[in-house]
């Protein structure tokens, strides 16, 4: 009797700490879209009930990850807030270890010339054909190599992107500015030992071999988007302990740049500890990146 009671208690406790997405029978749908003669895969989760068109958030995993490595970060928030969320798969020699072609990095996606911009554009079209998506509220975010591609998407698909957010990503220099301003949130740890805060070649040999160009310093990305968004050159600075928030205001219509400088953070997606795979190395729980990014997204529309 005691063993049965113990088992019941353990099951209840497990359910209490298991996120809703993991115990929900309705897992994200596996979908594919053909781009340049290649089938590209993604996962999609849409609200069970919606009274009208819903926002779409596109979440790009880091290098060495896949679509499922980011679902723990976003499904609970998406289902609570009522937006659609898509998790595309990068490409790699191993189907579970994808990369993105950010031009200066990374790996198989870069060396094979994967047209990831066309993939994301086609994926948005594919989702919009079958679901009521608010085309004025399409957002993109990414981690590490996924963040690098997010920068490219923001520039190439600017008229379609309402806002974007990059965590632990980098730019490479020489990028073409977007045709229209795109609000951007940038979050980066000063102790990042994979995509260094001050730029250069990655200290991690695996990543260094995947680069064709050195990373530019985080300040370069902040300044690039400040200029692209027509913002004032002096930010409002708000220290919050280990976190400093720099907000560039007085921008061109539709523009905004917010930079979260995380003094003691390393490489990873800040927030509650979850096993998300890829090259994440350091837990940092002084800010929840997902909730912060969604608040930023929710105040922007095309």
> How many structural domains is the chain composed of?
1
Distances (CA, A) of 95 to 64, 65, 116, 280: 10, 9, 16, 19
Q: Is the omega angle on the peptide bond into residue 106 within 30 degrees of 0, that is, cis?
A: yes
Residue 27 confidence (pLDDT): 84
Residues 126 and 2: their CA atoms lie apart, in Å, by: 53
SS3 for 109-134 is: HHHCCCCHHHHHHHHHHHHHHHCCEE
Distances (CA, A) of 67 to 48, 91, 102, 118: 21, 11, 17, 18
Reduce the DSSP state of residue 236 to 3 states and report it: strand
Residue 2 confidence (pLDDT): 37
Residue 96 confidence (pLDDT): 83
Edge-to-edge strands, sheet with 163-167: 29-35, 38-45, 84-88, 54-60, 133-143, 163-167, 184-189, 257-262, 243-248, 236-240
Is residue 215 within 8 Å of 288, Cβ to Cβ? no
Rounded to 5°, the CA angle 18-139-201 comes to 85
Residue 281 confidence (pLDDT): 60
Residues 302 and 294: their CA atoms lie apart, in Å, by: 16
For residue 9, give its domain range: 2-298
Residue 135's CB: how many other CB atoms inside 10 A? Answer: 14
Residues 204 and 95: their CA atoms lie apart, in Å, by: 22
Q: What averages of pLDDT result for each successive group of 10 residues across the chain (302 residues)?
A: 34 35 66 95 93 96 94 95 97 90 96 97 97 97 98 97 98 96 98 97 95 98 98 95 96 96 96 64 86 98 94
- Local structure of residue 296 (DSSP, 8 states): H
CATH number at residue 136: 3.40.50.1820
| Six-digit token string for 123 | 């994926």
| Six-digit token string for 15 | 């359910």
Reduce the DSSP state of residue 298 to 3 states and report it: helix
pTM > 0.75: yes or no: yes
Closest by CA to 180, choosing from 265, 251, 277, is: 251
């Amino acid at each position: 009797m005691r063993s049965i009671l113990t088992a019941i208690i353990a099951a209840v406790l497990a359910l209490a700490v298991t996120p809703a997405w993991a115990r929900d029978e309705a897992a994200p749908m596996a979908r594919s879209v053909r781009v340049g003669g290649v089938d590209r895969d993604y996962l999609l989760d849409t609200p069970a009930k919606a009274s009208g068109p819903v926002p779409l958030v596109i979440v790009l995993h880091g290098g060495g990850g896949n679509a499922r490595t980011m679902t723990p970060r976003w499904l609970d928030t998406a289902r609570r807030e009522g937006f659609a969320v898509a998790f595309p798969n990068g490409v790699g020699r191993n189907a579970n270890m994808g990369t993105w072609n950010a031009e200066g990095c990374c790996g198989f996606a870069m060396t094979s010339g994967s047209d990831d911009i066309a993939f994301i554009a086609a994926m948005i079209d594919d989702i919009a054909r079958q679901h009521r998506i608010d085309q004025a509220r399409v957002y993109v975010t990414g981690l590490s190599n996924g963040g690098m591609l997010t920068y490219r998407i923001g520039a190439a698909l600017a008229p379609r992107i309402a806002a974007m957010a990059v965590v632990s990503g980098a730019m490479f220099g020489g990028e073409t500015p977007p045709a229209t301003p795109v609000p951007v949130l940038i979050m980066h740890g000063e102790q990042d030992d994979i995509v260094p805060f001050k730029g250069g070649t990655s200290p991690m040999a695996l990543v260094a071999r995947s680069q064709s160009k050195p990373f530019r310093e985080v300040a370069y990305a902040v300044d690039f988007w400040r200029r692209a968004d027509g913002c004032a050159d002096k930010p409002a600075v708000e220290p919050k302990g280990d976190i400093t928030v720099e907000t560039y205001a007085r921008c061109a219509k539709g523009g905004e740049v917010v930079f979260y400088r995380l003094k003691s953070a390393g490489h990873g997606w800040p927030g509650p500890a979850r096993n998300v795979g890829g090259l994440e190395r350091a837990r940092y729980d002084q800010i929840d990146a997902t909730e912060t990014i969604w608040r930023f997204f929710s105040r922007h529309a095309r």
